[in-house]
Amino acid sequence: MKFGNNLRIKTATSWLPPGHETVEDAVTAGKLAASDVERLGLTQLPVSAQWSGPEMAVAAARDAISRAGWSPSKVGLVLHTWIYHQGHDMWSPPHYVANELGTPDALSYAVQQGCNGGAMALQVAAMHLAADPGLGAALITTGDRFLPPGFDRWACDYGLGFGDAGSAVLLHHGDAGPDDYALVSMATETAAELELMLRHGDDFSPTPLWHNEYIDLRRPKKSYMAVHGKEKFTEIASRSIRKVIVDSVHDAGLRLDDPRIKYIALPRLGTGLLDGIYMPVLDEVLKAEALWFGAVTGHMGCGDFLANLADLRDQMPLEPGDFALVISGGAAWTWACAVVQVPEERIPEGDV
């Protein structure tokens, strides 16, 4: 899906709580096996002692609006995404985000696609803006807090730890002001048959946490692998990752070996998972340097994708005209890849 040069990411932000839990603390407390430390690649995970997921999303969004120098009234669309409990049952976090930010009239709704939700919400926002020239701007937020007893951030899944955080992106039709990026293209690929991985061996339950005292993704995955083997998932994942990279670069009008593509930012999964699934594909198809920003955040759920946009801007030497890719994946299962470019010049007034 090609968006061109006039659809701009005004800014991207992430918000982390001040508290954290180190890998050493987790091992000492018996929350993490020492044998798992190396394949996670983490030093610590952010832990929120107070803020809920939606509150952290609002904090990230406020930072984004302040950084943009905008009035909240410019935002006409609010998309919020998450993977875990948002603090209330049968409630609408997107409307909370919109109201807290002073945009109560903005169209607000949720985008749910597992940990790919941040990427999917950005694509949905881009389609809104492409279809409605009168829409001033869109805000995409994510926020999650992974607390016991319902969630074990160190042991819920294989090969990753979950960090509490919020993130936000402002997307708009370009104007004469500065922007972090042009959103040039995005590609997605779905393998819906893999939804079975997250429920294999379990009947449909009448209430949450019916099968286990905390959300345990390892158990159904282990059951699935025992029947279908690990190779099926690896083959589908590798093929899908390759396709979204190739398609997004093609839609951007670039070649895979274009020297202007400087980096590809990876999901904040454990380094063992990245080395086993993502890196073999990247080594085959792309010359850009792979980046991983997860050492002190862990996996932020839906927030990886948006936070990677912020860290790319703040930590890497991108110059005007340079391109970068940001890739994402979420159970069960969709992958996405976006091509962004540091704008070479501002869009003159009247050309929007």
Q: What is the CATH number of domain 1-352?
A: 3.40.47.10
Q: 177 near 115, Cβ under 8 Å?
A: no
Asked if residue 92 has pLDDT above 90, the reply is yes
* For the chain, percent of residues with pLDDT exceeding 90: 94
Asked if residue 347 has pLDDT above 90, the reply is no
Residue 345: pLDDT band with limits 50, 70, 90: confident
Helix (H) or strand (E) holding 336: strand 334-341
pLDDT for the residue 331: 86
Q: Which of 103-112, 142-151, 343-352 has the lowest mean pLDDT?
A: 343-352
Q: What is the mean pLDDT of residues 153-164?
A: 95
Displacement of CA 53 from its chain's centroid (Å) = 14
Q: What is the mean pLDDT of residues 263-275?
A: 97
Residue 176: pLDDT band with limits 50, 70, 90: confident
C-alpha span between 298 and 267 (Å, rounded): 10
Cα angle 152, 156, 160 (rounded to 5 degrees) comes to: 105
User: Each residue of 214-267: pLDDT tens digit?
Assistant: 999 999 999 999 999 999 999 999 999 999 999 999 999 999 999 999 999 999
What's the residue count for the chain? 352
Q: Which two tokens stand for residue 91?
A: 């409630």
E strand segments, 19-106: 20-22, 44-46, 75-81
Cα-based torsion angle of the residue sequence 37, 40, 41, 43 in order, rounded to the nearest 10 degrees: -70
In the predicted model, what is the mean pLDDT of the chain? 95
pLDDT for the residue 350: 47
Helices (H), 42-116: 53-68, 93-100
**In the chain, where the domains are located:** 1-352
